[in-house]
Structure 1
Amino acid sequence: MANPAFLLFSLVISLFLVSCISSRTPSQRRADQIVKDEEKIVNGSRRGLQYLSCRTGNPIDDCWRCDPNWASNRQRLADCAIGFGKNAIGGGNGRIYIVDDNGDDDPVNPKPGTLRYGVIQTEPLWIIFARDMVIQLQQQLVMNSHKTIDGRGASVHIANGPCITIHDVSNIIIHGIHIHDCKPSPPGTIRDSPQHAGRWIESDGDGISIFASRDIWVDHCSLSNCHDGLIDAIHDSTDITISNNYMTHHDKVMLLGHSDAYLPDKAMRVTVAFNHFGEGLVQRMPRCRHGFFHIVNNDYTHWEMYAIGGSADPTIISQGNRFLAPNTRFDKEVTKRENAPESEWTHWNWVSEGDLMLNGAYFLPSGSGAGAATSYARADSLSARPASFVPYVTASAGTLTCRKGSQC
């Protein structure tokens, strides 16, 4: 157990750094300047606390980041998943595949050594990167099952084109990648396995689009400034964990559930944990439909419209989060119900337990099954730390600066 005085000191430093980040004036910036600014924040001030990475109370980081030999045992990361996506093993037990070619992207006949060639293979692969690189895709990156994209040890950007599509597959891990300035792609032919290339409709311009898939884990990524959502999960996707990510400069951040009329999404289960929702965000952190959503120990330092919203009777359990309401809003409600009168949504099970509300923030609860719902969240998702520790356990949210031979 860490010394209480040390934890208090760390918390004060974390709050100071968050306040510094929060004070930046939003502006319309070119995409390349956004990249530079976000890398400066992610790899600068927030990484200034990485010496605290061991025994932070963040169960994912405490599982692997204290090991200086992490680069020789990369697949141990697959044992560190928590929450509803805890069974996502990605390319665990598969061979290592090294991306050493970030040249022209060929969606139909990708070259060996490219990221696209790796993600379409039928065998389990743990995909790593030979060096720092920016990958600009010509069509959405359609992934096959049992793949891990592991950016540790390099600065890897998927940017300025279509981005990642997880469609009708399982066991995917995406870790340590910068994903930003994602754009829609036109209809076209895309290879999704060595044996098959087919016609795909246009993509929406999401950073990560999860469609009819399960056992998915997105961890320690930095996402910003995409055309549609940063992370969207729809069409009967389930057993997903979204953790330790740093999200900035975006309107509709995260959509979980296709539409009010799409009833198969009632089976959706998503854990959203240890993320930092930062500068320039507007809404949907997340926006939920139908399913069960455990939102735990996240740091909400910015939102313009609302933080957590939903429709179609989702169950939302908010535990141990830190909500700092914006000065720009008169109504500082964290939550927003859509597409239903109060007589209907008053029965939706939305629970706030142990959340820290700052600057007038408030969560409007509803429903009557709070006890059973929170017990279910603890049993199948994860236990929350006290909200006062949120700046501490999220201090390293986003991509990490990892070097071989030293703790990450």
Structure 2
Amino acid sequence: MGNSHGHHHRHRKNRNEENGSFPHKSSGQFDHHHHHNPPQQASSTSSTMSLPYAHVDSCLRALAAQAEGFGRSAIGGLRGPLYHVTTLADDGPGSLREGCRRKEPLWIVFELSGTIHLSSHLSVSSYKTIDGRGQRIKLTGKGLRLKECEHVIVCNLEFEGGRGPDVDAIQIKPNSKHIWIDRCTLRDYDDGLIDITRESTDITISRCHFSQHDKTILIGADPSHVGDRCIRVTIHHCFFDGTRQRHPRVRFGKVHLYNNYTRNWGIYAVCASVESQIYSQCNIYEAGQKKVAFKYLTEKAADNEEARTGYLRSEGDLFIAGTQHGLMTDQVGEHTMFHPSEFYPSWTVEAPSDALKQVLQHCTGWQSVPQPADQAIAAQ
């Protein structure tokens, strides 16, 4: 388990954004004066930080299977043709909905920018990449529904203003797996921003920006769904910007949180409920009026007589602005806590710092990046 932090820097050594702000020097070509500094001392400009998968914008399909964490296998529409969204209409030829409902693998790109008003949930079928790079697309009205699907990548979209009961920006249920949500901006929905329930698993949420919202991310719907013990989710390099609660709230599942910045929550930052295992690593927690970051809720699983809370391990987290961590002193069941290295060999994590905070404020959510060229891929 000793390989869970520093050694993970090695796999990025050829990425051009890496430099000396890391505790381990990885490649001679970056061997210059910065490398002696501990990570906390990195300057506060984004150029001194390396974000994971920095190379994926060099060619279109380089995104596939580059997620870190539990969603790392997601290939999306890698093996399918391009599908061009040519209209902002809710349905019909050239619409996003038409592409998402098709059964074959598709890599969906946008030929225009603007707002797509969804009059009903937009169901996404398996083996789809919805790739908003190169344009600015906002989804409003309703949200995406990932139901009984696998290998879906959603990248560089905005979600705002979802209305109606049970309207989430991205709803992942039931039985969906190998999902990656990357660089999306999500705010102001009537229910949740991201819900992961009903035995959906192997999911990564990365570099997203969450704001203007109450119930942000729910993992595990209620104590009766004991099948949710299979849920595994990674959330990293996200910015939870004044959202009220659920960053995330977890029942049953295993969740790895690292290098996220959560500030000015309204109730709590992270909540561990029935049998959940949350590994919080090198995150920044900056309280507003509510000072306690971690909350525990006791609930009774349907197949268990005894009500239980969840487990939360904090390693290397930074608690600032008077934040109290709220960790339980007697973590009964600590031995049941998972470690991410049992499931994946590497991830990009560094000590939390002011520099990381600056980067997460600017490099999360929708990004103005050009649409990469689509280069032919070798036959799989």
TM-score (norm 2): 0.80
Equivalent-residue separation in structure 2 for 1:257 and 1:316 (angstroms): 13
Which residue of 352, 357, 369 corresponds with 2:334? 369
Q: How many residues align?
A: 331
- Asked whether the equivalents of residues 293 and 317 of structure 1 are also in contact (C-alpha less than 8 Å), the reply is yes
Q: Is the 8 A contact 2:144 2:171 kept in 1?
A: yes
Distance 1:379-1:127 versus aligned 2 partners, 3 A rule? closer
Aligned counterpart in structure 2 of residue 251 of structure 1, from 211, 214, 236: 214
Of 204, 221, 225 in structure 1, the residue corresponding to residue 188 of structure 2 is 225
- How far the C-alpha of 1:261 sits from its partner, in A, is 1.3
CA distance in 2, matches of 1:169, 1:2: 39
2:67 pairs, out of 81, 89, 106, with 81
Which structure shows the higher helix fraction? Answer: 1
322, 325, 328: which one aligns with 1:360:
322
One-letter code of the match for 1:401?
S
* Corresponding position: 1:308 with 2:325: no
String of CA shifts for 1:309-347, please: whole Å, max 9, x gaps. Answer: 031110010000000111x23xx1111112349x9657x
- Is the Cα–Cα contact under 8 Å of residues 57 and 385 in structure 1 kept in the other structure? no
Give the conservation status (yes or no) of the 8 Å contact 2:52–2:348. Answer: no
| Structure 2 residue matching 1:373: 3-state secondary structure | coil
Report what 1:397 is aligned to: 364
Q: Distance in 1 between matches of 2:60 and 2:102?
A: 20
Question: 2:71·2:203 contact (CA, 8 Å) conserved in 1?
Answer: yes
**Is residue 238 from structure 1 mapped to residue 224 from structure 2 by the alignment?**
no
Rounded to whole Å, the distance in 2 between the matches of 1:349 and 1:13 is 34
Residue in 1 aligned with 2:377? none
Aligned with 2:115 (options 130, 134, 144): 134
Gaps of 5+ in 1: 15-48, 185-202
Percent identity over paired residues = 31
Structure 2 segments unaligned to the other structure (5+ residues): 1-17, 22-32, 301-305, 374-380
User: Does the alignment pair 1:116 with 2:78?
Assistant: no
Q: 2:250 aligns with which of 288, 298, 311?
A: 288
Structure 2 CA distance, aligned partners of 1:320 and 1:386?
Answer: 6
Residues 337 and 119 (structure 1), Cα distance of their counterparts in 2 relative to 1, 3 Å cut: same
Aligned equivalents of 2:173, 2:308: Cα separation in 1: 27
Shift of 1:64: 1.9
Q: Which residue of 2 aligns with 1:318?
A: 280
Amino acid at match of 1:287: R
Deviation at 1:291, TM superposition (A): 1.1
**What is aligned with 1:27?**
none
Counterpart of 1:64 (choices 56, 60, 67) is 56
SS at 1:80 equivalent: coil
Describe the superposition over 1:250-298 as per-residue Cα deviations: whole angstroms up to 9, x where unpaired: 000010001111100000000011000013x100000000010111110
Query: Displacement of 1:302 after TM fit?
Result: 2.3
State how far apart, in whole Å, the 1-side matches of 2:312 and 2:40 are. Answer: 34
Q: Distance in 1 between matches of 2:96 and 2:200?
A: 24
Q: Distance in 1 between matches of 2:201 and 2:219?
A: 10
Q: 1:386 aligns with which of 351, 356, 362?
A: 351
Given candidates 95, 113, 121, the residue that maps to 2:81 is 95
Query: Is the CA contact (8 Å cut-off) linking 2:40 and 2:351 kept in structure 1?
Result: no
Q: How has the CA–CA distance of structure 1 residues 168 and 340 changed in structure 2, closer, same or farther, with 3 Å as cutoff?
A: closer
RMSD value over aligned CA atoms?
2.5
SS in 2 for 1:390: helix
Aligned counterpart, 1:167: 147
Task: Tell me the TM-score normalised to structure 1 length.
Answer: 0.75
Instruction: Give the match for residue 263 of structure 1.
Output: 226
Alpha carbons of structure 1 residues 90 and 244: separation in structure 2 relative to 1, 3 Å:
same
